């Protein structure tokens, strides 16, 4: 039977993962299928069990199941453990193994696709949800000069900083304390700005000359965060499509043992972006 893979979420119809993994499979000559699995909000574990019984070998996990996937796994990688969340499940002989490839997705996108080094840079992460937790450890691994984290709910930023205190210095900052501070790299890891007519809650002036703005959110055009940065003179920026593609490549490597070339998938999903 051909090995089966899927992305599981709710909603999941919008997911670009099937297109990405089909392209990786074609390019690397892997015999596999990849589908979308809509799990009921109260039926994640049952959906995973049914997928396993039907020959499923691996899953990408998206909103709102990343914490449940972590809890369901019999083994978790250091990156999934650090995040407390899982976006990649692989079926092994003893059950599902959890990993988290979101962080390496951001770091690879910044370094390989945008030529941005985090080393010796002052980095600001906006947000303290699942995505922010997933990116802190790989960012610390690049040896930035400092990592600060600011979140609407201050206590969550403090929790994230405490969670990674053994891995490096992460400074929680109240949003109000951002005024007057500047950074080399500012990453938006929040859903602020997604709602129609939304405005962003951060003070202007966070970007140093030459700073890079990175939005984990992606869309067909520039996101609100990137437009906000651009209006402040920032010229170096990227949205999270590259993160999506690079995290998928790392999931593919975990499942199939081969890291696919991501460049053709950028061409496929956004033909004009890299012209
Ligand atoms: P999450 O766990 O629900 O966390 C949401 C975060 O956004 C929290 O920090 C929350 O602050 C903050 N937030 C929400 N509304 C806000 C507002 N109006 N003003 C200020 N802060 C607000 O979500 P997540 O999984 O971390 O995802 C965050 C974003 O990253 C999403 O937009 C998601 O699409 C994107 N993402 C992209 C990729 C990719 O591959 N490109 C991967 C993962 C996630 P509070 O703590 O105060 O509620």
The catalytic residue positions are 66
Contact between residue 61 and residue 69 where contact means Cβ atoms under 8 Å apart: yes
Structural domain total, the chain:
2
Residue 157 sits in a domain whose CATH number is 3.40.50.720
- Pocket lining for ligand 1, CB < 6 angstroms: 102, 127-132, 151-153, 156, 189-192, 194, 201, 216-218, 240, 243-244, 247
Write out pLDDT tens, residues 193-219.
888 888 999 999 999 999 999 999 998
Indicate yes or no: pTM above 0.85. yes
Compute the distance from residue 1 Cα to the ligand 1 centre, in Å. 38
Contact between residue 125 and residue 149 where contact means Cβ atoms under 8 Å apart: yes
Return d(Cα 182, Cα 119) in angstroms, integer.
Answer: 17
pLDDT at 272 over 70: no
- Residue 207, domain extent: 116-239
What pLDDT does 275 receive?
A: 36
Q: Which atom of ligand 1 is nearest to the CA of 133?
A: 26
Please choose from 11, 65, 84, 152 the residue to mutate so as to test ligand 1's pocket, defined by most ligand atoms within 8 A of CB: 152
What pLDDT does 270 receive?
A: 81
What pLDDT does 163 receive?
A: 92
The CA-atom distances, in angstroms, between 79 and each of 85, 130, 136 are: 9, 13, 10
What pLDDT does 271 receive?
A: 67
What pLDDT does 196 receive?
A: 81
Write out pLDDT tens, residues 96-146.
999 999 999 999 999 999 999 999 999 999 999 889 999 999 999 999 999
Regarding whether 124 and 234 lie in a shared domain, the answer is: yes
Structural domain includes residue 105: no
Q: Give me the chain's average pLDDT, please.
A: 95
Three-state DSSP state, 3: strand
Regarding whether 64 and 136 lie in a shared domain, the answer is: no
The CA-atom distances, in angstroms, between 75 and each of 95, 98, 158, 209 are: 8, 6, 27, 44
Return d(Cα 176, Cα 157) in angstroms, integer.
Answer: 13
């Amino acid at each position: 039977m051909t090995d089966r893979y899927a992305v599981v979420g709710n909603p999941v119809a919008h997911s670009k993962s099937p297109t990405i993994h089909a392209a990786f499979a074609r390019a690397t000559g892997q015999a596999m299928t990849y589908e979308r699995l809509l799990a009921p909000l109260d039926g994640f574990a049952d959906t995973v069990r049914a997928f396993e019984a039907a020959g499923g070998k691996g899953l990408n996990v998206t909103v709102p199941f990343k914490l449940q996937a972590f809890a369901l796994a019999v083994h978790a990688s250091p990156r999934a453990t650090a995040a407390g969340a899982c976006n990649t499940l692989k079926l092994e002989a003893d059950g599902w193994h959890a990993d988290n490839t979101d962080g390496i997705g951001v770091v690879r996108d910044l370094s390989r696709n945008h030529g941005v080094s985090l080393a010796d840079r002052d980095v600001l992460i906006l947000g303290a949800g699942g995505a922010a937790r997933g990116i802190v450890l790989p960012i610390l691994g690049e040896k930035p000069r400092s990592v600060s984290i600011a979140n609407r709910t201050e206590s969550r930023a403090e929790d994230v900083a405490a969670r990674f205190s053994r891995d490096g210095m992460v400074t929680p900052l109240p949003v109000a304390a951002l005024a007057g501070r500047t950074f080399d790299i500012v990453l938006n890891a929040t859903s602020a700005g997604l709602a129609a007519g939304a405005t962003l809650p951060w003070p202007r002036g966070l970007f140093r000359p030459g700073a890079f703005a990175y939005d984990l959110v992606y869309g067909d055009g520039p996101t609100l965060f990137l437009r906000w940065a651009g209006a402040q003179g920032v010229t170096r920026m990227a949205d999270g499509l590259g993160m999506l593609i690079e995290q998928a490549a790392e999931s593919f490597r975990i499942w199939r043992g081969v890291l696919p070339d991501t460049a053709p998938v950028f061409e496929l999903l956004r033909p004009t972006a890299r012209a």
